[in-house]
Amino acid sequence: MLFVTVGLFKAATDKEDVDEEQHEEEYLPSDSEKEEGDGEATEEGGEEEGVAEEESQEPEIQYDEETQALIDEANIARERFQEAEKSVKDLHSEIGQLEEKVDRDYGLEEEFASLDGECYEYADLEYIYQLCPYNKASQRSKSGGSDVTLGRWSGWVESKEHSASGKYSKMKYDQGQSCWNGPMRSTIVTLSCGLENMLISVTEPNRCEYAMEFSTPALCNLNKITTTDTHDEL
Ligand code: MAN
């Protein structure tokens, strides 16, 4: 039975081969068609077929010199336009980022501006925490896995204290990665005066609510300004 099936299959495929051959024969170009084709037909059916499928689908058309020159010019112009369009897009996004920066509150004397663009790390037994001021706070498990965003820059925490150091003592980062069955992660960063910019501690007082302590000389200056102001008032 199997032999019969194989035999039938072979007969059928042989027949297809024959049909194909016949088919090809039927469509052999006539002598006049051959002349018109300028030998392109042979090239198309050659070894390159299947290697560059796209090319074979769109055979290169030969234009007269003038038309080809215009096509080349148009292609160059199109490329230049696309480059210019990309530059405009890049510039727009740069302007957007700069405008956002200009609007950012960097303190009374822009003393926190130098923190923008920097990142600081702190490691405890389980995690490596990262604070990128004016950008985001994140956490990465020491045993691997991807970063978990603990919040994105939201602003300074409004304080009831009227002194400058009061206003610029706590940063808020919110809308972080959602906590399973809980809120979106958020972080409050408490700043203190210190000799260098440093993330000095990270805790999680409530699930998915983080507290960071960050020391910075920027706040020492601010304390000085406030103290001087107070002296003037006295
Ligand atoms: C992770 C960390 C923890 C957090 C839990 C909540 O393990 O982000 O800080 O408490 O998720 O499920």
Count other C-beta atoms under 10 Å from residue 222's C-beta: 25
Question: Residue 130 is inside which H or E element, if any?
Answer: strand 127-132
What's the pLDDT at 160?
66
Instruction: Tell how strand 148-156 and strand 170-174 pair up.
Output: antiparallel
3-state helix, strand, coil in the chain (%, to 5): 45, 25, 30
Mutate to test the pocket of ligand 1, among 128, 143, 179 (most ligand atoms within 8 A of CB): 179
- Whole-number Å distance, alpha carbon 136 to ligand 1 midpoint, is 17
- Whole-number Å distance, alpha carbon 190 to ligand 1 midpoint, is 21
Which whole number is the average pLDDT over 3-17? 42
Which whole number is the average pLDDT over 96-121? 92
What's the pLDDT at 59?
74
Residue 52, pLDDT above cutoff 80: no
Looking at per-residue pLDDT, the higher value among 92 and 61 belongs to: 92
- Whole-number Å distance, alpha carbon 173 to ligand 1 midpoint, is 16
Of 17-26, 70-79, 81-90, 100-109, give the lowest mean pLDDT range.
17-26
Which tens digit of pLDDT belongs to each residue from 177-194?
Answer: 999 988 999 999 999 999
Kindly list the distances between the CA atom of residue 192 and the CA atoms of 47, 105, 164, 201, in Å, as whole numbers in the listed order: 74, 18, 13, 12
For residue 221, the Cα-to-chain-centroid distance in whole angstroms is 37
Residue nearest to atom 11 of ligand 1 (CA): 179
- Whole-number Å distance, alpha carbon 201 to ligand 1 midpoint, is 17
Residue 203, pLDDT above cutoff 70: yes
Q: Which atom of ligand 1 is nearest to the CA of 185?
A: 8
For residue 169, the Cα-to-chain-centroid distance in whole angstroms is 32
**CA 134/CA 117 separation, integer angstroms:** 8
Question: Residue 174 is inside which H or E element, if any?
Answer: strand 170-174
Pocket residues for ligand 1 (CB within 6 Å)? 139, 148, 179-180, 204, 207-208
Residue nearest to atom 2 of ligand 1 (CA): 208
